[in-house]
Amino acid sequence: MAFLTLFIFTGCNAQKNVPIFSKVVYEGNDDVYNENPLEADEFYNPILQGTYPDPAIARKGDDYYLVASSFAMFPGVPIFHSKDLVNWTQIGHVLDRKSQLKVYDAGISGGVYAPDIRYNPHNDTFYMITTQFAGGFGNMVVKTKDPMEGWSDPIKLDFQGIDPAIFFDDDGKVYVVHNDAPNRGEELYEGHRVIKIWEYDVENDKVIEGTDKIIVNGGVDLSKKPIWIEAPHIYKKGGLYYLMCAEGGTGGWHSEVIFVSDKPMGPYEPAPSNPILTQRHFPKDRKNKVDWAGHADLVVGPDDKYYGVFLGIRPNDEDRVNTGRETFILPLDWSGKFPVFENGLVPMEPKLEMPEGVENKTGEGEYFPNGNFTYTEDFDSEKLDYRWIGLRGPREDFMEITKNGLKITPFDVNIKEVKPTSTLFHRQQHKDFSFTTTMDYKPKSEDDLAGITALQNEKFNYIFGITKKDKKYYVILERTEKGSSEIIASKEIEFNDELQLKVKAEGDLYKFSYALKEGDFQNLGGTVSGDILSTNVAGGFTGALIGLYATSANDALPKEK
């Protein structure tokens, strides 16, 4: 697994109000994987579980690079590498410096939207183009000769709209396409959007003024008032130019549609068979439901067959989405003029047949896991796995690896503020999971709290941790909904610095428990609803995050007796 190197601090935990986390165990146990074991030639879909939305993919030789949206997470734009489209290794993040990512005052669903990644063979350079709703960036591009070695600082691009994608034609010309609002005064209905194209000056990294042109107005059929045409990509095959877009909004009516032209600037005509991917037509109560499929990107696989990566969701039994938009993959049938996703217009299955000659090594060694798995982090290495992320600011600003584990120095900020927080997050990757950590900690006052948080955003979350009041120590569970907080339960405890904290979910039902050293786990607060950890209730574009949390601005106080 790819890692981030951190400073090793060898001292003991002299400041008892600074927590040391010595172990985390994340265990996923979804029924769909227990009921559908893999055969030798199969792999699981999604390929990236948890909040890895809006995937885009590029190929150079036999190397594939995949990126996903990260919004206000820090570092931003996770990037994965593969040789076969089955086994993926995270090699880091595209935006890993404050000069690239200025999301310090962004809500969790602000920040970086819909990255596109492409390789330009004419100058042997990779490009990642995206929209950053923070820091004054807007649409921007970064570049590198080698995605393994880091990326440039952003170059701001002078156009409006979102979801930019870049296309390198065979003749060396370059184009940028993106979603935008209709021309002033021409918007016909709510959700009416257009796709624009620009010629791009690759030497100076800017769109060429005056070359912009609307190539799709509204969607496939404007008379039907299609909404949210977005996420465009251009491909060239057989001398023709294909424009693929998402349509219908990134929810229950999401789909993928395609257009064709004999020129990159159009005009583009829609395929008669649109959509080419959607899950919107099937019964809501179908087993192992995958929904919201769309926002796709295509690549030629190692077997010379086309594949598409796209987002989808796996709702729980209450039809709520806690794991967020995940990255799926399907092969395409492009034997005719227009492509169609194989089995993308029928209810999706949890397993796929691997490309010929590929061995499934998912979860082995450096390869990212999927299906059911257990991930254990002892924080006893100089290097921290890339799956751990901060919110609005770098992890390095609040954490150190010590000989005793992970030290989090608390900020004077709590999880409900739109500021960088001293919280190290892991994505919720299963509907049924447990997350357990061991913590050495003694708060000094009621301003101090450390423990874990289960968070959908700053206004919808749970806090479960230890604080102090009137010389007594308390474990507390707080629920925040719509920005209003309530203490679900609190209990006075006597402990000698170390304890374990656990959150366990079975679908929509969450339980928080603690254990004193050498003791059994005790539940606090009974069974609580995971509704506030869902996109359905909390809104936004992310999935639930489980964090190791410390604050010196605690406002979650134990209940009065």
What is the tens place of the pLDDT at every residue in 164-196? 999 999 999 999 999 999 999 999 999 999 999
Question: In terms of Cα–Cα distance, which of 52, 202, 239 is closest to 119?
Answer: 202
Nearest Cα to Cα of residue 116 among 363, 309, 260, 331? 309
Share of the chain above pLDDT 70, in %: 97
Closest CA to 74 of 58, 107, 97: 97
> Which band of pLDDT confidence, cut at 50, 70 and 90, is reported for residue 423?
very high
Q: Are 508 and 316 in contact (CB under 8 A)?
A: yes
Annotated active-site residue 54? The verdict is yes
Positive or negative, the CA dihedral 305, 349, 228, 58 is negative
For residue range 454-488, list pLDDT tens digits in order.
999 999 999 999 999 999 999 999 999 999 999 99
Tokens 């901060």 -> residue: 390
Whether 545 shows a pLDDT value over 60: the answer reads yes
- In the chain, the N- to C-terminal Cα span, in Å, equals 49
DSSP labels, 437-451: EEEE----STT-EEE
pLDDT in tens, 43-88: 999 999 999 999 999 999 999 999 999 999 999 999 999 999 999 9
β-strand partners of 475: 466, 491
Contact call for residues 140 and 154 (beta carbons, < 8 A)? yes
> Which of the four pLDDT bands, split at 50, 70 and 90, describes residue 424?
very high
Single out the catalytic residue among 230, 291, 377, 440. Answer: 230
Instruction: Tell me if 226 sits within 8 A of 248, measured CB to CB.
Output: yes
Rg (CA), the chain: 24
Amino acid in the structure at residue 414: N
Distance CA 74, CA 102 (A): 9
Lowest mean pLDDT among 28-32, 50-54, 99-103, 356-360: 356-360
CA torsion sign for 394, 399, 403, 404 is negative
Which pLDDT score, from 0 to 100, does residue 5 have?
42
For every residue of 110-170, which 3-state class applies, written as one string? Answer: CEEEEEEEEEECCCCEEEEEEEEECCCCEEEEEEECCHHHCCCCCEECCCCCEEEEEEECC
The residue among 394, 397, 429, 426 whose CA lies nearest residue 411 is: 397
Which long-range CB contacts under 8 A does 32-41 form with residues at least 24 apart?
32/288, 32/314, 32/350, 33/350, 33/371, 33/372, 34/372, 36/288, 36/350, 36/351, 38/351, 38/360, 38/371, 39/351, 40/360, 41/353, 41/354
Question: Measured between alpha carbons, how far is 446 from 466 in angstroms, rounded to an integer?
Answer: 9
List 393's β-bridge partners, or say none.
none
What is the C-alpha to C-alpha distance for residues 197 and 216, in angstroms, rounded to an integer?
10
| Angle in degrees, CA 122, 127, 133, rounded to 5 | 155
Q: What b/e string do you get for 407-416 counting C-beta neighbours within 10 Å, with b at 16 or more?
A: bbebbebbbb
Is pLDDT above 60 for 8? no
* Token pair for 115: 């990255």
Lowest mean pLDDT segment, chosen from 10-19, 54-63, 143-152, 552-561: 10-19
Give the active site residue among 30, 54, 256, 458.
54
Fill in the amino acid letter for 433: F
Q: In this structure, are residues 226 and 211 in contact, taking their beta carbons and an 8 Å threshold?
A: no
What local confidence, expressed as pLDDT, does residue 518 receive? 75
CA distances from 153 to 46, 141, 372, 391 (A): 31, 8, 38, 20
Model confidence at 16, pLDDT cuts 50, 70, 90, reads low
Cis peptide before 121 (omega within 30 of 0): no
Count of other CB atoms within 10 angstroms of residue 171:
8
pLDDT at 15 (0 to 100): 59
Locate 453 and state its tokens: 């948080």
pLDDT for the residue numbered 13: 44
Beta strands 255-261 and 269-270, pairing class: antiparallel
* Rounded Cα distance, 534 and 507, in Å: 11
CB 18 within 8 A of CB 409: yes
- Cite the beta strand spans of 6-84 per DSSP E: 8-9, 20-28, 42-44, 56-60, 63-67, 73-74, 76-82
Instruction: Tell me the β-bridge partners of 102.
Output: none
Q: Tokens 């583009």 correspond to what residue?
A: 268
